[in-house]
Chain A
Amino acid sequence: MAEKTCELFDCGHRACGGCGAALAARLVTKAAGKDSIFVSSTGCMEVFSTPYPETAWKVPWIHSLFENAAAVASGIEAALKKQGRKEKIVIMAGDGATFDIGMICISGAFERGHDFTYICYDNEAYMNTGIQRSGATPYDASTTTSPAGKCSFGNKRPKKDMPAILAAHGAPYVATTSIAYPADLLQKVEKAIATPGPSYVQVHAPCCTGWGFEGEQTIAIAKLAIETGLWVNYEMIDGKITKVKKVVRKPVEEYLKTQKRFRHLFKPIRQDAEIAAIQAIADKNAEKYGIDIKLNKKE
């Protein structure tokens, strides 16, 4: 079965039906091609793709720990250099591995300037261990460690701005993209890989299990994140924002009400102030990145 397809991230993995991260793996391996070495961190992707003795990866792949993918990749790059080999190195790590526990390794590796591409598949929480919050969890999302309750509306802080942090390290290419826009994703990953030095691509990868929606809604929800301005697709070259996906913005409510992690904002009573606070985050994004398409008033 596996031999018959031309995918490098193949069928037979054990992700939930409709998993955004699995789709990201398929697209990223397609963009990287077979002359690449993949490095994963501990998390959903590692677990659903490599239950011994099976593997979904048809490219060389290594997983060491939760926090050290960038350091492992640094060593691989050094070894390839010494051996005169030319494979591309691609890291695929979760948001927990990237925003939180792997920060030191990532900072060191980007500062040293290794030639690799770091892809963060961002499903906005620690999914593998049962949906706990991470530094990428959005404001007010309910997770198992930031549960909504009588005294809480869920996660108390907005997402950490990881792309800006890596751009500040001097990364020549930083981009955000989404599994809802495969052409954009493929193009950005190719560009990241072609750029010498460390590059970073953050992929919005909705998680039906962790966010609470039906698996067939994954793409629609990823699109709504962009259409409401809660996720922005852009490119940063040498620290400057060069390309932004523009939208005719919808109210954030349309995105929030599709997912159980935001259900407490609507039931048992509607939390207008919280919804307004989230709308303000989208408005700020719109202003910062210039995503709004101005409609002709006469129409």
Chain B
Amino acid sequence: MMEITEGSHAVAEAVRLCRPQVVSAYPITPQTHIVEALADFVANGQLDAEYITVENELSALSACVGASAAGSRTYSATTSQGLMLMAEVVFNAAGMRLPIIMSIANRALGAPLSIWNDMQDSISLRDSGWLQFYAEDNQEATDLHLLAFKVAEDNSIQLPAFVCFDGFILSHTYEPVDMLTQEDVDKYLPKFNPAERLDAADPISFGMYATPEYYLEFRYEMDQAQKRAKDVIAKAGKEFGEMFGRDYSALIEGYRLEDADTAIVAMGSICGTVKDAIDEMRTAGMKVGLLKIRVFRPFPAEEIAKMLSHVKRVAVLDKNISLGAKGATAMEVRDALYGSAIPVKGYVLGLGGRDVRKRDIKEIVAFSEKGPNDQFYGLRKELI
């Protein structure tokens, strides 16, 4: 049923329908509305979960580690500074192969302190082993939670997942979202039934230490699970499409890309602006298209190379920067296209909530034909 609702509320509702048994989170702007809504659901009997009000984010995710290892479906949400405080547990949860789902309402990292949107937080943890989904709008933000639980908990994957959506731009925006019913979700998402759990009837040890004779293979297995996740996402995304009419089988999506000379590559809510700019550029006769990355981990390198094989140039938009190097997406797209002659230019933009408008996208398209390979876009020259 279509409802005009706030992004955070739509996400909280989707999480409720997924029936997590243990929720543990700590408030931080702009994630707060999600955890407040979930607390309300529990207080009013709409969600039958233990809600652990921890003293910080490190404990929030640690409690999820314990609950997930004990065999319960678990959920958390955070952003920015909170995610950084959790970082040690983020790597740990993935290493223990615990399929925790965590919403990230993407926000910049301090210093300087900023509560506004970019993707530095989740991108900085791209090596942690978590699957990473990025939503373009609130419908995707909602749906991707169901997909994430289904994929993460698949016995062939057993990895945790971030569902990322842009702080404020999506989390605090009201727009129409098709809300699923409990019946729908129960049909789609099976009960969590992990192969191994903490259980006195069948004692096992979790989180042992590994000598150099064993460690490398643990990491290899995690990497293999990430790669297997491509197929599992394809299957679960297709099933979602068959049941609810929105197909998420593809890790990437093209928009007016078939005959494009210039391809823009982007993630998250900026894709909406890019699509509008493309429509206008197309009207003016320019052959521009978009490649949207919905799943950043596992990274769809082969899929990207295939979808971009015919273009003349690529402009990658990054709301993050690996300082001293480049935007993460630009580096990875360039790596995906290694061996082809297609030039890839990277644009770091929108950091700390700096607005990105249609005219910026058009300017970037113009730059991509000349200009340097990698640059910050939209700098205020008078401040430098």
Q: Which of B54-62, B254-262, B347-355 is the contact stretch?
A: B54-62
Q: How far is the CB of A23 from chain B (nearest CB, A)?
A: 20
Contact with A along B49-70 (1 / 0, CB 8 A): 1101111101110111111111
CA distance A73 to B65 in the complex (A): 9
Which bucket holds chain A's interface residue count?
35 or more
Q: Is B198 an interface residue, CB under 8 A from the partner? A: yes
A58-76 interface code vs B (CB 8 A; 1 in, 0 out): 1111111101101111111
Q: Are A68 and B58 in contact (CB under 8 A)?
A: yes
Task: Please count how many residues in chain B sit with their CB below 8 Å of the partner chain's CB atoms.
Answer: 44
Contact B207 A64 (CB under 8 A): yes
Whether B198 lies near A108 (C-beta < 8 A) is: no
The answer to whether A75 and B66 have CB atoms under 8 Å apart is: yes
Contact assessment for A60 and B89 in the assembled complex, using a CB-CB cutoff below 8 Å: no
Chain A residue nearest to B24 in the complex (CB) = A75
A68 to B89, Cβ gap below 8 A?
Answer: yes
The answer to whether B65 touches A64 (Cβ under 8 A) is: yes
CA distance A35 to B207 in the complex (A): 20
Task: Collect the chain A residues with CB atoms within 8 Å of residue B211's CB.
Answer: 51-52
B205 with A55: CB separation less than 8 A: yes
Across-interface contacts of B74 in A (CB, < 8 A): 75, 79
Q: Are A79 and B209 touching (Cβ within 8 A)?
A: no
Q: Identify which of A36, A76, A109 contacts B67 (C-beta below 8 A).
A: A76
Select one of B55, B69, B200, B208 contacting A108, CB under 8 A: B55
A61 and chain B: residue at smallest CB distance? B205
Are A83 and B71 interface neighbours, CB within 8 A?
A: yes
Residue of A nearest to B198 (CB): A60
Instruction: Give chain B interface residues in 26-69, CB to chain A under 8 Å.
Output: 48-50, 52-56, 58-60, 62-69
B91 nearest in chain A by CB position: A65
A104 within 8 Å of B by Cβ? yes
A200 at the binding interface (Cβ < 8 Å) = no
**A78 to B63, alpha carbons, bound, how many Å?**
9
Q: Which of A52, A65, A73, A75 contacts B208 (CB 8 A)?
A: A52
With both beta carbons as reference points, the residue of chain B lying nearest to A57 in the complex is identified as B205
Docked complex: A82-136 residues within 8 A CB-CB of B: 82-83, 85, 87, 104-105, 107-109, 111-112
**Inter-subunit contact B63/A72 (CB<8 Å):** yes
Using known A-B contacts A65-B88, A71-B59, determine if residue A78 contacts B52 with beta carbons closer than 8 Å: yes
Q: Contact check: which of B72, B89, B202, B210 meets A83 at CB < 8 Å?
A: B72
Chain A residue numbers with a CB within 8 Å of B363 are: none
Which residues of the partner chain A approach B59 to less than 8 Å between Cβ atoms? 68, 70-71, 74, 104-105, 108-109
Docked-complex contact B52 and A74, CB < 8 angstroms:
yes
A80 to B56: give the CA distance in the assembly, Å: 22
- Quick check: is B21 within 8 A (CB to CB) of the other chain? yes
**Nearest A residue to B214, CB-CB:** A52
User: B62–A68 contact, CB under 8 A?
Assistant: yes
In the assembled complex, which residues on chain A have CB atoms less than 8 Å from the CB atom of B70?
A: 37, 75-76, 79-80, 83, 85
CA distance A283 to B378 in the complex (A): 70
Contacting pair A64 B92 (CB below 8 A):
yes
Instruction: Report if B204 contacts A (CB, 8 A).
Output: yes
CA distance A46 to B49 in the complex (A): 31
Asked if A82 and B203 make an inter-chain contact with CB atoms under 8 angstroms apart, the answer reads no
CB distance from B22 to the nearest CB of A (A): 5
Chain B residues with CB under 8 Å of A80's CB are 70
In the assembled complex, which residues on chain A have CB atoms less than 8 Å from the CB atom of B53? 112
Closest partner residue, chain B, to A46 (CB atom): B209
Chain B residues within 8 Å of A275, by CB: none
B206 on interface, CB distance cutoff 8 Å: yes
Chain A residues contacting B242 (CB-CB under 8 Å) are none
Residue in A closest to B100 when the chains form the complex, CB atoms: A75
CB distance from B129 to the nearest CB of A (A): 15
Q: Which of B62-120 contact A (CB under 8 A)?
A: 62-72, 74, 88-89, 92, 96
With A34-B200, A51-B209, A104-B55 as contacts: A62 and B50 at CB distance below 8 Å: no
Among B21, B55, B64, B205, point to the contact of A82 (Cβ < 8 A).
B21
Asked whether any CB of chain B lies closer than 8 Å to the CB of A81, the reply is yes
Contact of A64 with B203 at beta-carbon distance under 8 Å, contacts A46-B209, A75-B22 already known: no
Expressed in whole angstroms, the Cα–Cα distance for A120 and B210 within the complex equals: 24
A68 to B58 Cα, complex, angstroms:
8
Q: How would residues 199 to 242 of chain B score, 1 for a CB under 8 Å from any chain A CB and 0 otherwise?
A: 11011111111110010000000000000000000000000000
* A74, B198: Cβ atoms closer than 8 Å: no
Q: State whether A75 touches B64 (Cβ < 8 A).
A: yes
CA distance A120 to B209 in the complex (A): 21
B50→A82 contact, CB < 8 A: yes
A31 within 8 A of B: no
Q: Does the CB pair A52–B209 fall under 8 Å?
A: yes
Q: Please determine whether A57 and B65 come into contact, CB atoms closer than 8 angstroms.
A: no
The smallest beta-carbon distance between A203 and chain B, in angstroms, is 22
**Given A60-B203, A64-B89, A78 contacting B50 (CB threshold 8 A):** yes
CB <8 Å contact, A35 and B200 = yes
Task: For residue A286, give the distance in angstroms from its CB to the closest CB of chain B.
Answer: 36
Q: Shortest Cβ distance from A19 into chain B, in angstroms?
A: 17
Interface centre among A75, A111, A112 (most CB of B within 10 A): A75
Cα–Cα, bound, A290→B68 (Å):
46
If A60-B198, A64-B89 touch, does A79 touch B21 (CB 8 Å cutoff)? yes
Q: Verify A105–B58 contact, CB threshold 8 A.
A: yes
The answer on a CB contact under 8 Å between B50 and A63 is no
Cα–Cα distance between A78 and B65 once the two chains are bound (Å):
11
A and B contact pairs by CB, cutoff 8 A, 25 listed: A34-B200, A46-B209, A50-B208, A53-B214, A61-B205, A63-B207, A64-B66, A64-B92, A68-B59, A68-B89, A72-B63, A72-B65, A74-B24, A74-B59, A75-B64, A76-B69, A78-B52, A78-B66, A78-B72, A79-B68, A83-B70, A104-B58, A104-B59, A109-B59, A112-B52
Taking A61-B206, A64-B89, A87-B200 as known contacts, 19 extra A-B pairs with beta carbons closer than 8 A to each other, sorted by chain A number, are A34-B203, A52-B209, A52-B211, A60-B203, A60-B204, A62-B207, A63-B205, A71-B59, A74-B52, A74-B59, A75-B22, A75-B62, A75-B64, A76-B66, A78-B72, A79-B22, A104-B55, A104-B58, A107-B55
Q: Interface of B with A (CB < 8 Å)?
A: 21-22, 24, 48-50, 52-56, 58-60, 62-72, 74, 88-89, 92, 96, 198-200, 202-211, 214
Top 4 closest A-B pairs, CB basis? A75-B66, A108-B55, A75-B63, A71-B62
